[in-house]
Copies of this chain bind each other. A is one copy, B any other.
Amino acid sequence: MMNVLAVGCHPDDLEIGCGGTLAKLAAAGHRVTMAHVASGDKGHRVIAPDELRRIRGEEAQMAGRLIGAEVISLDEPDLGVKQDTDALIRKLTALIRRVRPAYIITHPPEDYMKDHMEVSRAVFDASFAATVPHYETEGGSAAQDGVVPIYYMDTLAGVGSLPTEYVDITDYMELKIQMNDCHQSQIKWLREHDGIDFLDFVRTVSKFRGLQCGKAYAEGFTQCRAWPRLTTERLLP
């Protein structure tokens, strides 16, 4: 059994990008940890930040419970995630050292808004720092033994994204929809702010990725190709 750490930016990003894969991993008995870096506090036109931060934290917990995943918030403010902040890297490093993942799933380095990209780069940095004993973090966990692989989710709406890895999530599609459905504040916001039917949006992307690889529903990923994160886990194919 593996420990898998997924790090999204906002409370619903993991559900959108890799909810089916996480559900499948959890169903296979792996231990899944879902972290979101930003509290999502500014993700609504009306609800005030403090109130929204609380609501979205609860929504994320609810979604995680559906698959038995631990849910963690790093509680950075929306539009204020900064990779180059020592405090954020240390929080992420401490998390990685505690979870000790076999690999990490996060946002790709280029995405549709800055906070997502900052998370991607912060995860890249922290997962290296996690292996350096003299880089100290709270909580007392020892340094990791090796730098772990990172898999990047699709960008939002798959713009500019050409997956090299596909995970068949056909059997977990409805569970993925339920996980996304937990994020009621966001679903309403997107409907009002951008005129987007969020659940249909999520389903369409998964269906599109599915027809690319011959399944009903799938999620696409790319691998972070940096030394020493390359793997030889499988014999082809």
Contact B49 A158 (CB under 8 A): no
Q: Does A165 contact B (CB under 8 A)?
A: yes
* Count of A interface residues, CB-CB < 8 Å: 84
Q: Provide the bound-state CA to CA distance between A201 and B207, in Å.
A: 9
Q: 1/0 contact trace for A196-237 toward B, CB 8 Å?
A: 100001001101100111110010010101111111111111
A residues 30-56 in Cβ contact with B at 8 Å: 41-46, 48-49
Find A166's partner among B41, B156, B231 (CB 8 Å cutoff).
Answer: B231
Minimal beta-carbon separation of A236 from chain B (angstroms): 6
Find A211's partner among B132, B151, B165, B201 (CB 8 Å cutoff).
Answer: B201
Contact A228 B114 (CB under 8 A): no
Minimal Cβ-Cβ distance residue in B for A18: B236
Minimal beta-carbon separation of A233 from chain B (angstroms): 5
Secondary structure call for the A interface: loop
Contact B237 A213 (CB under 8 A): no
* Chain B residues positioned under 8 Å from A78 (CB to CB): 132, 134-135
A residues 108-165 in Cβ contact with B at 8 Å: 110-114, 121, 124-125, 128-129, 131-135, 143, 146, 149, 151, 155-160, 162, 164-165
A-B contact pairs, 28 of them (CB 8 A): A4-B236, A24-B235, A45-B143, A48-B134, A80-B86, A102-B237, A103-B236, A103-B237, A110-B226, A113-B128, A113-B226, A151-B236, A158-B208, A159-B226, A159-B227, A162-B162, A162-B225, A165-B236, A166-B230, A194-B228, A201-B211, A204-B211, A205-B208, A212-B230, A213-B228, A213-B230, A213-B231, A231-B237
Excluding A103-B237, A157-B212, A158-B212, 19 further A-B contacts by CB distance (< 8 Å) are A4-B236, A44-B134, A46-B133, A78-B134, A84-B84, A112-B229, A155-B226, A156-B227, A159-B230, A160-B162, A166-B231, A201-B211, A204-B207, A207-B208, A208-B208, A212-B227, A215-B232, A221-B236, A233-B234
